[in-house]
A = this chain, B = another copy of it.
Amino acid sequence: MKIVVLKFGGTSVGSTDRIKKVSKIITSYIKKKYKVIVAPSAMKGVTNDLIRKSKEISNNFISDEYDVLVSSGEQMSCSLIAGSLNHLGYKSRSWLGWQVPILTEGGFSKARIKYIYKKNIMKYLKSGGIPIVAGFQGINSNSRITTIGRGGTDASAIMLARFFNAEKCIIYTDVEGVYTTDPNTIKKAKKIKVISYEEMLEMASLGAKVMQPHSIQDARLNRIDIDVRSSFKQTSGTLITKRKNILSNKIIRGVSFTKNDAKITLVGVKDRPGVAASIFEPLYINSINVDMVVQNISSNGRETDLTFTIKSEDSVKTEKLLKKNKKINFRKIIVDKKVSKVSIIGVGMITTPGVTYRMFNALAKKNINIIVISTSEIKISVLLNRRDLNKAVNILHKEFRLEK
């Protein structure tokens, strides 16, 4: 049985008109003799409207009821798609999280899928039906509705593909695929035909908004090929797959960047064991994500300067937390909200010497100052002044011939 899982994002099912269009996409796979499992998001705007209502009731709306509330969005889109397919003469029905059932663990609003019971849907597929499985939702062991915190409906689709041994998991969205860099910023950005999970992970967590990192990680761990493509245009998309499936001589796959970083420098921190932990613990507790970290070795061995980056929106809160932190001593705090991070990503850099040099050299030639550097096996990131951002992305895109 050739099974394909089709995920449709909120914009793809954003109106009843869109749902009719999406129905045609679904039936095109039936015509190609696939067994199709559909996992839709809520219609665009619906989830936000529900969240707004919960906030009007309480700024601290209880999470178990929050999940009941927001999961109704996918219930709507599921039934509308199933209704549309019936209207076209196909056998189709909705399956809510509790009906499958999809068992989750890990608490409300941030649940993870633990197990998907296959029996009923398998029988339905064999009978020629098209199951529309509500994305983003499941139930816990107490039969209460939970929602998938990380990756939402993408995660649902990937887990469906895993449990049903699907040949493919296709993520239909409002963009045509993954690009070498942001096509809205850089005109010469090119759509990437194929990319490894690892590269995509770096692209996603560094700013490309096509998929959430956790979903890509789910796909990587379960070896599920993901095809990201547009539900609006009939064009090929981007395949996210295992490295060994990729035959390509590109050293660098893409250039990603963030716009809203802030740099915090603590000057003259008393340097003793555990001081870094004392600084970062309250930030972690307050869900403030620390990205790049640099510590200068102090000349006298007693003091050090510590620099790190966070999201701009967290800078006020971070400054407050640092100032009232009794466990640390420092002379001065400097906050710079006008920085950005640019990264080049590619598995090819593992085997190709000189990539770092080429990157720094290209930036230096344009007089772009590098503030902080951080690297991993398959990416190099640099922090720079925001005013240099566009220039930097352009020059790196060109340097590594991504427009070709």
Contacts and interface: CB of A to CB of B under 8 A. Distances in A.
A111 B65 CA distance: 27
Interface string A50-84: 10011011101110111011011001101110111
A74 B279 CA distance: 47
A122 to B, nearest CB: 17
Query: How many copies of this chain sit in the oligomeric assembly?
Result: 2
Chain A interface bracket (under 10, 10 to 19, 20 to 34, 35 or more)? 35 or more
Interface in A290-332: none
B58 A83 contact: yes
A374 interface: no
A145 B58 CA distance: 29
B75 A87 contact: no
Contact of A94 (B65, B76, B94): B65
Given A16-B56, A20-B57, A57-B19, A86 B65 contact: yes
Contacts of A143: 99
Given A87-B57, A87-B58, A79 B65 contact: yes
B68 A96 contact: yes
Interface string A81-118: 01110110000011010110000000000000000000
Given A62-B82, A65-B93, A82-B62, A76 B50 contact: yes
B83 A57 contact: yes
Contact of A62 (B72, B76, B83): B83
A109 to B, nearest CB: 13
Contact of A83 (B66, B75, B99): B66
Contacts of A75: 68-69, 71-72, 75
B83 A76 contact: no
A144 to B, nearest CB: 8
A79 B99 contact: no
A208 to B, nearest CB: 33
A54 B83 contact: yes
| Most B Cβ at <10 Å: residue of A64, A76, A99 | A76
A207 B53 CA distance: 35
Nearest to A88: B58
Interface string A221-240: 00000000000000000000
Contact of A65 (B16, B58, B83, B98): B83
Given A64-B93, A143-B99, A69 B83 contact: yes
List the 9 shortest-distance A-B pairs measured between CB atoms, nearest first: A58-B87, A16-B56, A68-B79, A69-B79, A72-B72, A62-B86, A65-B79, A65-B83, A72-B75
Given A68-B78, A72-B72, 16 more contacts: A54-B83, A57-B83, A57-B87, A58-B83, A58-B84, A61-B86, A62-B82, A62-B83, A64-B93, A65-B82, A65-B94, A68-B79, A68-B82, A68-B96, A71-B75, A72-B75
12 contacts: A19-B57, A57-B87, A62-B83, A65-B79, A65-B80, A65-B82, A65-B83, A65-B86, A65-B94, A68-B82, A69-B79, A72-B76
